[in-house]
Amino acid sequence: MFFTDWQIESLRYLWSTHPEGANSQTVYQNVNKTLEGSISRASVINYLNAMVDEGALSYTETTGKGGHRRIYSAKYDEAGSKQYMAKKIISKLLETWPEATREAINRMPRER
């Protein structure tokens, strides 16, 4: 439910490539270059696939050397993605802990 720096950077990169998208190798390289880290490519692939399952990303398949590969793309722009994920998180919290979630929402300061 909470995002790591590399996961946020993965999403930022895909938002920047909207609507063309990118393959996992390109996302992986960008994340490791931007954050100067060593996130594994498998972690990136698993995260991108999980975001597809959650409905935040989509993909198309292409073929090339080595077989099939997915080209991932954000279903929404940055603002739309944030709204989508916030709604999913709040809905899941309301489903799992309705009373505590409603109480927490009611205690939040209101925008003026």
Check if the beta carbon of residue 48 is closer than 8 Å to that of residue 27: yes
Cβ neighbourhood burial of 74 (10 Å; 0-12, 13-18, 19+):
buried
pLDDT at 112: 58
Check if the beta carbon of residue 15 is closer than 8 Å to that of residue 78: yes
Q: List the beta bridge partners of residue 67.
A: 64
Q: Which domains does the chain have, with CATH numbers?
A: 5-107 (1.10.10.10)
Q: Model confidence over 25-51: pLDDT tens digits?
A: 999 999 999 997 789 999 999 999 999
Question: Among 57, 83, 86, 85, which Cα is nearest to 71's?
Answer: 57
Written as six digits, the tokens of 97 are 């802990």
Q: Model confidence over 81-111: pLDDT tens digits?
A: 999 999 999 999 999 999 999 999 999 988 6
